[in-house]
Structure 1
């Protein structure tokens, strides 16, 4: 969203409005910024009655509607504005944002490209184009757009961060570090920049970085989001130096801050899992048992080797590695909105035809990942919760449950900053409870439908890589291909914190938990309680 300029500026976009109307528009913009959408709507409705064909008034109405989630209304009013001003880059940018919010990514990208052509010196359009291309896995074009944004607006920190992230995904780590450092040169407490540097695991942070982070996390006035990200980066840097007690303290402090923002409630989640399992046992037989055979879901606890298993599969000439997709959840949310009921309320009444339709909708949304290769992976870890309904919705899909030593996986989760809150990984006890719920659910589905679900153990891959890879490919109905043994040579964008690790051959020295000794006893106890 681009709001009008300050009232002291002379802006041709506001021509045709009286002084009082300009004041109203600025007040509406402030209301949108502050989340006061009712007030914004009142101001904009009054303005619209007086100036029904004013482009900027229409644009602001579109922004307000998008913020409210009334995306269809936003698109309609923004298209009206665009008809009046076909080359207005701000209108194009906001229309593209609304289209993307609705899931029309092809149209959104087309409109963003038009915005960039209409105003080549408008950095926000280049940034939005690059950001969304990056999310879709088109890292090369994303990088070109993001570099254009940083060239036009060197002070635009998010563009530097995303350019760095994209370069990491492409395996160009030195260039990525340069972008993160450029952001830090402008704002030394930029948490995302420190997060990016810390995640380049092949390039440990230096003594000067540790000193800077140790000071910055204590500095008054630093935003919570930056302090948290820097705390995780500091913990990683201290662990690399073997300072385990200090590392644990830094990570515990960062997690405690995260948990204060949005506490995870383990008993509530456990009850939800039980209800999902009960509903999953009452689903109708699928109309087409092969629907979804194009898809390989990789699920499990985060930090359990899912990116590695995806990299192995994506080295196969028939498989595209799509990384962590939100399409399954988006299809469920769409259906819930249409029915005006949450998932658990409508699951019992959904027919086989309904599930078939939803499966087709998922395949439609993910078709972009199968333009070059016939199959794709979807490695969003928490999709394990939907393993049961996938039996009705996409029964032909294969589900790979990535397993790693529970202590190592749990500790690795605690060390990783997750941005979706509340999150179980902020507390060692919650990690144990979440592990229990995940394992009891997957044990049920794997026992009942072993042809659909495979437990793939990380340690087994280390012990006998060729045998495990052959078995994994066979489970996925893929012929053996030797390229999967050399997965680390695959040239693809890897959009997870493990991007640097999966570009290396298998390593046996990644275990860290035991080095923390008694500090991790709470996690050991929580995992023992989980069974």
Structure 2
């Protein structure tokens, strides 16, 4: 018997195993049904606590999840699996540094624990500790040479670190052994400067039919195939490949447009009238907007300044909102209108505490989570000294670029109708806040930048209250790791011919109609 299951009767063991399977398949309701009798009959058993913590974390109940995981660890402090589970709960709660500590502990307790090394590599990447991440991922690969996810992630890390040729070699090596590895194909496609030829598109078509390919592999390969066909000028075929990949993705995760619209309406109706006062948050520049609109380019230009630390797509603001919701015992945004100035200061300080590590080298940090556009009112209340840069690009180009991008979790990108609906919500919010708060909210237009880079980079720096530095004009020379799809592009000088929609002509008329452009 598995020693972790000691103290459980056969029926309970069956339920533990069934709960674990349901959690692995991301079926929280099924897991909860299996777990409920266990919580009644064995509420203090460490395996029951571990599974309950995982379920709570999946549901966003982070405080309760950490409580149960700590109770489990008290009983089994030397169990590496438990430290790994604790790390996952900590990471979901936004405690990245503590999660990394827990994973180092798991790896020390069980040096052959492949999953712990892999998770450690992922979290170190998220923390921008790229050298250490490389070591952790290499350890995982040495322990399990066929571990597809670790090998693809290692190649992704090389790409993010601008080791282009090394990344290509790693992807190709993995594909030679596992031609169905979807994330390796997509990793190659993400190297925008690498054209994929007919040999690649033919290989992807064969891999799509491979019996070892999962639906996840097929979705990633579908997007890679579309990129290859686009490189070859086969635009109608590329669009067909995109439609198939997006449709397959929708079978597993769909977008609830009406629920999203209701959320945005609720946020707009509950705007906070108080604010923290003073210049709290002046050390932060938020970059918000639609994905694929030039936000990584904005961050790269700002991160080229000697006073600015370019970070990543930080989850800290949503996590602070989650903490506030738990504190007020109300879902966001129902408590927003009730906040006092003192409340605003408290949550603003909480955000600054969470992000302080990004300002150890330089006094100002960016926060480039695109979806924060829907929380501009919250930012203005909590951090009135912060600057908010809205990244804007032509609606058709932005939406089509989102449709072409393999975006796990961004489910609104799967259909033209959902993309257009999402765009309209963003557009309305961006225009509202730019008109209302011009001193703190600035719309940076990609097409304007392309026409006159020097002028618009100077305007961006002036809005952010930064003295002009020549390095910002030479942003493509700045050495830093970049974890977004635009990593390779922002390391090149600006190009004027980036518009892609004209190549597809009338094939994109359905998207134009969804955007009310025809």
Q: TM-score, length-normalised on structure 2?
A: 0.91
- The CA deviation at 1:177 is 2.6
Deviation sequence 1:213-232 (CA, Å, 0-9, x none) = 12333556743222211111
For this pair of structures, how many residues does the alignment match? Answer: 508
Q: Name whichever of 203-212 and 75-84 sits farther off.
A: 75-84
Q: Following TM superposition, by how much is the alpha carbon of 1:106 offset from its aligned partner in structure 2, in angstroms? A: 2.1
Partner of 2:331: 342
2:459 to 471, 488, 506: 471
| Cα distance, 1:41 vs structure 2 | 5.5
Could you tell me which residue of structure 2 aligns to residue 3 of structure 1? none
Shift of 1:201: 1.2
SS state of the match for residue 473, structure 2? helix
Aligned to 1:454: 442
Shift in Å, 1:30: 3.4
Aligned partner (choices 111, 114, 133) of residue 102 of structure 2: 111
Q: 1:128 aligns with which of 105, 119, 134?
A: 119
State the Cα distance separating 1:82 from its structure 2 match.
Answer: 4.6
From 166, 171, 195, the equivalent of 1:175 is: 166
Aligned to 1:236: 227
1:123 to 1:381, Cα distance in 2 relative to 1, 3 A: same
Residues 43-122 of structure 1 correspond to what in structure 2 (within 5 A)?
43=38, 46=41, 58-59=46-47, 61-69=49-57, 71-72=62-63, 75-76=66-67, 78-79=69-70, 82=73, 86-122=77-113
User: Pairwise mapping of residues 208-223 of structure 1 onto structure 2 (< 5 A)?
Assistant: 208-218=199-209, 222-223=213-214
Question: Which of residues 188, 193, 201 is equivalent to 2:184?
Answer: 193
Show the counterpart of 2:27. Answer: none
Residue 34 of structure 2 aligns with which residue?
A: 39
SS at structure 2 position matched to 1:345: coil
Structure 2 CA distance for partners of 1:305 and 1:107, relative to 1, 3 Å? same
SS in 1 for 2:50: helix
CA distance in 2, matches of 1:459, 1:288: 35
Deviations 1:307-344 (A, max 9, x none): 01100001111111112111111111222233232213
Name the CA distance, whole Å, in 1 between partners of 2:455 and 2:135: 41
Shift in Å, 1:120: 2.4
Residue 498 of structure 1 and its aligned partner are, at CA, apart by: 0.7
Structure 2 residue 501 is matched with structure 1 residue 501: no
Alignment RMSD: 2.5
Following superposition, the deviation at residue 238 of structure 1 comes to 0.4
Pair 1:527 & 2:515 matched: yes
SS of 2:497's equivalent in the other structure is coil
Within a 5 Å distance, the mapping from 1:320-339 to structure 2 comes to 320-339=309-328
Structure 2 residue 370 is the aligned partner of structure 1 residue 381:
yes
User: How far apart, CA to CA, are the structure 2 residues paired with 1:285 and 1:41?
Assistant: 43
Q: Structure 2 stretches of 5 or more lacking a match?
A: 24-30
1:181-209 residue CA offsets vs partner (Å, 9 max, x unmatched): 34434432222221111101122223322
On the 8 A contact 1:59/1:77 being kept in 2, the answer is no
Match of 1:440 among 428, 446, 453: 428
1:528 is paired with a residue whose SS is coil
Output the CA distance in 1 between the equivalents of 2:262 and 2:33. Answer: 36
Mapped partners of 1:74, 1:453: distance in 2: 37
Detail structure 1 runs of 4+ shifted over 6 Å in the superposition: none
- Residues 305, 403 of structure 1: 8 Å contact kept: yes
Aligned mates of 2:152, 2:482 — CA distance in 1: 16
Q: Which moved more, 1:206-215 or 1:324-333?
A: 206-215
Contact 1:170 1:492 in 2 (8 A): yes
Aligned partner of 2:400 in structure 1 is 411
The aligned counterpart of 1:4 is: none
Cα distance between partner residues in 1 of 2:70 and 2:190 = 41
2:138 paired with 1:147: yes
Shift of 1:40: 3.9
* Counterpart Cα distance in 2 of 1:72 and 1:262: 27
- Secondary structure, aligned partner of 2:443: strand
Question: 1:442: how far off?
Answer: 1.2
**d(CA) in 1 for partners of 2:172, 2:455:** 43
Partner of 1:488: 476
Please state whether the residue corresponding to 2:286 is helix, strand or coil: strand
1:203 has 2:194 as partner: yes
- CA distance in 2 between counterparts of 1:345 and 1:44 reads 32
Q: Distance in 1 between matches of 2:39 and 2:172?
A: 42
Q: Distance in 1 between matches of 2:282 and 2:98?
A: 28
Q: Deviations over 1:353-405 (max 9, x none)?
A: 22221111111111121111111111111211111222111111111111122
Find the counterpart in structure 1 of residue 154 from structure 2. Answer: 163
1:249 has 2:240 as partner: yes
